[in-house]
């Protein structure tokens, strides 16, 4: 077995996702943000990935993280949250990606308010996974690892 470090993946979360578990559980489920971090890092280990989970309410910080990922050729699982619908700065940072970027959403934006139906990120993402609760993150990590679920 080689001593090489496992591939690193950033899981980036936008505004209000740090409030998971208490924020609208009928929409976002009962898993806390700490629970999301634990599930992502544990699954990452199982898949041979080093997963780092971050959350911010600051658009500029999200843009800096996307630049960091592009500069280091790091794959990204991105839940832009509300930034999805209007942050062209974040979209432009995501467009600079040098590795796969998968957009995820806990809920299905198309089953919600009309303003949520448009994603400025989708066109520059490798793919989008939405509507599977916290499982959306799991599906994205499996896709990045090349371990796609069997039907």
Q: Indicate the pTM of the whole model.
A: 0.86
Structural domains of the chain ordered from first start: 8-145 (3.40.50.9100)
Residue-level pLDDT at 107:
82
Phi, psi dihedrals of residue 31, rounded to the nearest 5°: -65, 130
pLDDT of residue 52: 98
Q: Is residue 67 a known part of a binding site?
A: no
**What pLDDT is attached to residue 24?**
56
State residue 125 phi and psi, 5-degree precision. -90, 155
pLDDT tens for the chain, residues 1 to 151: 556 788 999 999 998 887 766 565 565 555 788 999 999 999 999 999 999 999 999 999 999 999 999 999 999 999 999 899 889 999 999 999 999 999 999 987 766 667 666 899 999 999 999 999 999 999 999 999 985 443 3
Classify each residue of 40-58 as buried b or exposed e, where b means 16 or more C-beta atoms within 10 Å of its C-beta: bbebbeebebebbbebbbe
pLDDT of residue 23: 61
pLDDT score recorded for residue 4:
79
Six-digit token string for 99: 């590795």
Is 106 one of the annotated binding-site residues?
yes
- Which positions are annotated as active-site residues? 28, 105
Contact 12, 27 (CB under 8 A): no
Q: Is 116 annotated as a binding residue?
A: yes
């Amino acid at each position: 077995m080689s001593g090489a470090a496992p591939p690193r993946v950033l899981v980036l979360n936008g505004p209000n996702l740090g409030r998971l578990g208490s924020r609208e559980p009928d929409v976002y489920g009962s898993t806390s943000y700490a629970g999301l971090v634990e599930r992502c890092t544990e699954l990452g280990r199982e898949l041979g990935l080093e997963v780092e989970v971050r959350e911010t309410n600051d658009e500029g910080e999200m843009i800096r993280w996307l630049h960091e990922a592009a500069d280091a050729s790091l794959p990204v699982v991105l839940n832009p949250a509300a930034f999805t619908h209007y942050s062209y700065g974040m979209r432009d940072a995501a467009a600079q990606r040098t590795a796969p970027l998968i957009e995820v959403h806990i809920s299905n934006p198309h089953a919600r308010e009309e303003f949520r139906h448009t994603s400025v990120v989708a066109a520059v993402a490798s793919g989008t996974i939405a509507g599977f609760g916290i499982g959306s993150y799991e599906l994205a990590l499996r896709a990045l690892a090349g371990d796609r679920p069997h039907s």
